[in-house]
Structure 1
Amino acid sequence: MALYLVIRLRGQPDRRPEEEKALELLRLHKVYHAVLVKDDPSIKGMLERTLSSAVTWGEINKETLVELLKRRGRITGNKRLTEEYLKKIGFNSFEELAEALISGKVSLEDLPGVKPVFRLRPPSGGFRGTIRRNINARGELGYRGADINNLVLRML
């Protein structure tokens, strides 16, 4: 089972009510917020049909997930996610947590005090295309597969 990283790239104006509801369900309230979701048919349908004009997504690999957790992982009180806190909740390292997340044994919602949303920055060097078009039409929106890892590393 794959683990998708979904990043919101477009803002509020001109969003249909069903898009707003889908973004709310995924907790993508602001631009450059990212969440981890499982490869589920209902999630995939929501991304492809409803949100393809507002988000980009793809399969995240373990190395990128470890970096994302280290640099952008937060706990309650807007404090950084640390190895000490991971040991307190039952994980020895960021690598172990990333492996458990990718394999589907645990989700961020199950971990006490860990925030499920990552607040990213705009990518260093800017976007390669426009954020108004799909990835296939020289844009940035939609499904990008494993290329999401390159984008995330530029947004950390």
Structure 2
Amino acid sequence: MSNLMLIIRLRGSAGSPWFIEETLRNLRLSRVFNAMLYPDTSPLKGMLIKVQPYVTWGEPSDEVLSMLLSKLKPKGKTIEEALKSVGVENTSNLKQAIVEGKIKLHELDDTFSLPLRLHPPRGGFKGSVKRPFKDEGEFGYRGQKINELVKRMI
């Protein structure tokens, strides 16, 4: 699953510079607790370094990816019609197509309402959202531990 990155916005925009807000808009993370899946590329890593104090990211597991895709809400159609318009039969085929890179989640705008909206984590954050993950905080790269956070947010 290392070719996908799950990015979650943790902090609001009060007091943030304009270039941070612009980068968060480009990542399609306009609100707190919005999440998006992107392929792991060099330009994406540069954007993540720029907005690091406002987001957390890591590689999602198969289980978490299935849970996130089950939260997709179609725009004005049934879920079956929306999946057929994308060219897949069910959500497991959609997950497989996203993992293989045939379909990119951020390109499904006309079919599904994106970005994914998550709840605040049950039990709260374990550290401060103003400190990096490696220093017992919450923001920044967290690798496979993103799965624990997402399970508490769904």
TM-score normalized with structure 1 length: 0.89
Q: What letter is aligned with 2:20?
A: E
Q: Distance in 2 between matches of 1:28 and 1:15?
A: 14
In structure 2, distance between residues paired with 1:117 and 1:31: 11
Distance 2:124 2:107 in 1: 34
Written as runs of structure 1 = structure 2, the 5 A alignment for 1:78-89 is 82-83=79-80, 85-89=82-86
Q: Give the aligned partner of residue 67 of structure 1.
A: 67
Contact conserved, 1:83 with 1:94, CA < 8 A, in 2?
A: no
- Large movers: runs of 4+ above 4 Å: none
**Residue 33 of structure 2 is aligned to residue 41 of structure 1:** no
* Rounded Cα–Cα distance in structure 1 between residues aligned with 2:85 and 2:43: 34
In structure 2, the residue matched to 1:104 is: 101
Q: Aligned partners of 1:109 and 1:13: how far apart in 2? A: 26
Q: Determine which of 90, 93, 96 is the counterpart of 2:90.
A: 93
1:140 match: secondary structure = strand
Q: Distance in 1 between matches of 2:15 and 2:85?
A: 44
Consecutive unaligned residues in structure 1, runs of 5 or more = none
Unaligned runs of 5+ in 2: none
Residues 136 and 69 of structure 1: CA distance in aligned 2, closer, same or farther (over 3 Å): same
Contact 2:133 2:139 in 1 (8 A): yes
Distance, in Å, in 1 between the alignment partners of 2:48 and 2:106 is: 20
Query: How much does 1:83 deviate?
Result: 4.5
Deviations 1:8-40 (A, max 9, x none): 000011211111110010111110001111111
Displacement, 1:90? 2.3
| Equivalent residue, structure 2, for 1:116 | 114
Residues 82 and 112, structure 2, Cα contact 8 Å, conserved in 1: no
Q: Scaled by the length of structure 2, what TM-score is found?
A: 0.90
Q: 1:109 to 1:10 in 2, by over 3 A?
A: closer
